[in-house]
Amino acid sequence: MAAVMFPRMCGLGLVLAAGSLLAASAWAKAPKLPETVPVPELNQSQSEQKAAPADVPVPEARPADAPKPDQSEPDKLNQQKSNQHKQVRPESPAMAPKPGEKPTEAKPEPEPPVIAPQPPEKPAEAKDNKMLPDPRSASVPAKEMPEEELACRRRLKSMGVDFEERKAEHNAEIGCSIPYPIMLKNLGKSVAIGPGTELNCQMAEAAARFTTDVIQPAAKAEFGADLKSISQASAFVCRPRNGTRKLSEHAFGNALDIASFTLSDGRKVEISPTPPEKDAKFLNTVRKAACGPFKTVLGPGSDADHALHFHLDLEPRRNGGTFCQ
């Protein structure tokens, strides 16, 4: 065993001896170090370092590091920026759509229609009083009464009609006109009419003939009594037609409204929407027969304005036509 360990120890000694020699050689070659080494200064923060010499230029700040605008500027600048921001950014919806619902699309508001300026309207009173033109409105009496007027009066007298001459009626502002009016006292020897009935001669003659030829025989046939008098609701009246700007035939003394009939036995037959059966039969006979001698015949059922009377007139119509309701 000793023989084995001896060679190992000899080899180890050789190794140690070689290492010592190498170390001595390296020590001999190393440079001589100073005895004292200065202590390096510690790094200081930027705020603690001394200011740079005046001759060293200071680098300019980057654009990102530029100083912010002074907070003391007027609020007007901030308000302008806010307004510009509002104009660019769309308004957010008031409420987010619920799950499963389609978002409501904002509909563009329709532009208001362009309305052309209109001329100022005339006052309502002036517009309402302005009647549509009628050639009869210009009629005025001549120095001498025309022959047709004289002939009409002769025919009335031959039928026993009593009447009085009246002064001409003329209203240039509205348009009403009767150049040669008469006031009827009766419609024949036995039939009175009232109250005062002012008409043109042609309408007076038509009313007198109709009374003699139609009303009197109908009263005798239906009631066994004679017609004694007629109560009229309207004759000459200077006015337009109801609800229009056209002159009424009453404005020319060319219309007569009959409200009731009185018989010789005292019976009074009034015109109404629902008269007694016997009265209704008489009234229907008179009303139907009037369509022809008169150009316009209105009464109950035609409109509310004629619910309580018969309207008869001689309004000129094309081809001699009639209007009967």
Q: What is the pLDDT of residue 242?
A: 84
C-alpha neighbours within 13 Å on the C-beta side of residue 180? 17
| 269 against 28, higher pLDDT | 269
DSSP state at residue 151:
H
Given a cut of 70, whether residue 57 has pLDDT beyond it is no
Task: Find out whether 253 and 216 touch, Cβ atoms under 8 Å.
Answer: no
Task: Find out whether 197 and 256 touch, Cβ atoms under 8 Å.
Answer: yes
Helices (runs of H) and strands (runs of E) counted in the chain: 7, 11
Classify residue 4: in a domain, yes or no. Answer: no
Share of the chain above pLDDT 70, in %: 60
Max CA separation in the chain (angstroms): 196
Classify residue 246: in a domain, yes or no. Answer: yes
Going by C-alpha positions, the residue among 275, 271, 250 that lies closest to residue 262 is 271
Residue 183: how many other CB atoms lie within 10 Å: 16
**Rounded to whole angstroms, how far apart are CA atoms 226 and 218?**
9
State the average pLDDT over residues 55-83. Answer: 52
Task: Find out whether 262 and 287 touch, Cβ atoms under 8 Å.
Answer: no
Q: With bands split at pLDDT 50, 70 and 90, how would you rate the model's confidence at 59?
A: low
Q: What is the pLDDT of residue 51?
A: 43
Given a cut of 80, whether residue 12 has pLDDT beyond it is no
Q: What is the pLDDT of residue 130?
A: 75
Classify residue 48: in a domain, yes or no. Answer: no
* Sign of the alpha-carbon torsion through 251, 255, 260, 261: positive
Task: Find out whether 247 and 134 touch, Cβ atoms under 8 Å.
Answer: yes
Least confident of 89-98, 182-191, 199-208, 241-250: 89-98
Q: What is the pLDDT of residue 16?
A: 52
Classify residue 188: in a domain, yes or no. Answer: yes
Going by C-alpha positions, the residue among 246, 252, 245, 250 that lies closest to residue 234 is 250
Q: What is the pLDDT of residue 245?
A: 86
Residue 176: how many other CB atoms lie within 10 Å: 24
How large is the C-alpha radius of gyration of the chain?
A: 62
Least confident of 22-26, 174-178, 195-199: 22-26
To 10 degrees, the CA torsion angle through 146, 147, 152, 158?
Answer: 140
State the average pLDDT over residues 144-156. Answer: 97
Classify residue 118: in a domain, yes or no. Answer: no
Least confident of 41-55, 255-269, 296-310: 41-55
Given a cut of 50, whether residue 287 has pLDDT beyond it is yes
Given a cut of 90, whether residue 44 has pLDDT beyond it is no
Q: What is the pLDDT of residue 316?
A: 85
Report in angstroms the alpha-carbon separations of 130 from 123, 125, 139, 253, 255: 11, 9, 18, 20, 22
Planar angle of CA 268, 272, 275, nearest 5 degrees: 65
Q: What is the pLDDT of residue 27?
A: 44
**Rounded to whole angstroms, how far apart are CA atoms 9 and 12?**
5
Q: What is the pLDDT of residue 81?
A: 52
Classify residue 108: in a domain, yes or no. Answer: no
Classify residue 117: in a domain, yes or no. Answer: no
Q: What is the pLDDT of residue 266?
A: 96
Q: With bands split at pLDDT 50, 70 and 90, how would you rate the model's confidence at 41?
A: low
Share of the chain above pLDDT 90, in %: 53
Q: What is the pLDDT of residue 13?
A: 52
* Cα–chain center distance at 91: 34
Classify residue 261: in a domain, yes or no. Answer: yes
The total domain count for the chain is 1
User: Residue type for 240, please?
Assistant: P
With tokens 């901030």, the residue in question is 78
In 82-240, the DSSP E strands lie at 163-165, 169-170, 177-178, 181-186, 192-200, 227-234
Q: What is the pLDDT of residue 312?
A: 98
Given a cut of 60, whether residue 277 has pLDDT beyond it is yes
What are φ and ψ of residue 9, in 5° steps? -65, -40
What are φ and ψ of residue 220, in 5° steps? -65, -40
Q: What is the pLDDT of residue 47?
A: 43
Q: With bands split at pLDDT 50, 70 and 90, how would you rate the model's confidence at 322?
A: very high
Q: What is the pLDDT of residue 319?
A: 82
Q: Range of 142's domain?
A: 135-324
Q: What is the mean pLDDT of the chain?
A: 77
Q: What are the tokens at 125?
A: 């009173």
